[in-house]
Structure formats: structure tokens, C-alpha cells
Amino acid sequence: MKTFKYLSALLILLLISSYSFAQITSYPHSTTFASGFGDWNQSASDDFDWTQTTSGTPSSGTGPQSSNGADGTTGYIFTETSSPVSTSETARLYCTYDLTNKSAASVTFYYHIYAGSGYGPGTLRLAIYKGNSASGGTYHYPWTVTSSHNGWQQATIDLADYVGYSYVQLAFE
């Protein structure tokens, strides 16, 4: 079974107010995945990694049918969840923000989750950790998709519940 999860070439975090982040210094923050992962990091505590590409994926019948990312970009990241990866394993890619003293925030991204031949696409979700340090906060899962879509889809998530926290980590799993 070959199942892919793709995250588009365009990921944008929009913050409305003055910005002062330790990790991110230019806003709105965007990552195209055209030549790498940008400010996004592979998790060391997950089961396998995301892959960045500008030339298509190794299997046909799943995911984008070309090497193009969403919104006219040339790169994207993906996971292949076929053997030897099992259904209980997770790949995690994350980026951390400081939303202290922000009045509003949202994240917009494109995704392509498609599986042919009757196989399910698995689950793609956005996990958000909020706290004022790397420990002691809480995780939330404000967005999840489990149904197959043959084409790039856009999602925008309001981050109002995370405004005011100094350690907000967005993770795609």
C-alpha cells in the first residue's frame, strides 16, 4: 500500500501587530519548501521524516500528479506511509513562534492528501503546543483531515487561542 501525505510549497503564518520573535525575524513568515525546510525542523522524537522535493514523488497514483507545489510554487514536502512505515507511526515537522503581545494570528497552508486504488490516505493534522516555555504547556489539534482529495486544498487556521503565549509550536503530523 502506498499512501502519501503532502504539505504544500506555500506555508504562511500571518501575524497582525508588531513582531518580535527569536526564531523568525521577517513577517509575514512564509516557507516555500522550494530548496529545503526553511525554518521548519524535523522532530527527533517521531518515527520517520518528511521529505522535501521539487521533482515529484516515488509512487504513482498518490499525491500530486506533477512536481509542482501549490499556488504556483516548485517545491513541497511529503511523507510516504507505505511499507516499512506502519499505521501507528508519525512524522512531525515543527516551527516555534512567540505570540506574546500579538493582537491576532493565523496560519494558511496548502495540502494534498490523495490515495488511489482504494487505500486510505491516513491522517494529516496540525498540532499546536502553547505555553510560555518548552515544557508545562498544552497540545491542541485544531485541524485534521483524513479524506482523500486529488488536488491542492487550502486551509486557514485562526490562532486567536494562542495569542499571548511566548512559546507556540506549530507541527504538521
**Higher per-residue pLDDT: 53 or 117:** 53
Q: Are 66 and 106 in contact (CB under 8 A)?
A: no
Query: What confidence score (pLDDT) does residue 102 get?
Result: 85
Cell, residue 91: 512524522
Q: Are 8 and 70 in contact (CB under 8 A)?
A: yes
Q: What is the mean pLDDT of residues 94-106?
A: 88
Q: Are 104 and 26 in contact (CB under 8 A)?
A: no
Q: What is the pLDDT of residues 35-67, one digit of tens each?
A: 889 889 999 999 999 988 887 777 766 666 665
Query: What confidence score (pLDDT) does residue 153 get?
Result: 87
State yes or no: pLDDT of 6 exceeds 50.
no
Query: What confidence score (pLDDT) does residue 71 get?
Result: 65
Q: What is the pLDDT of residues 139-165, one digit of tens each?
A: 999 999 988 877 888 999 999 999 999
**Higher per-residue pLDDT: 138 or 14:** 138
How far lies 124's CA from each of 5, 12, 121, in Å?
7, 17, 9
Most confident of 21-35, 43-57, 112-126, 153-167: 153-167
Overall pTM > 0.85: no
The number of residues making up the chain comes to 173
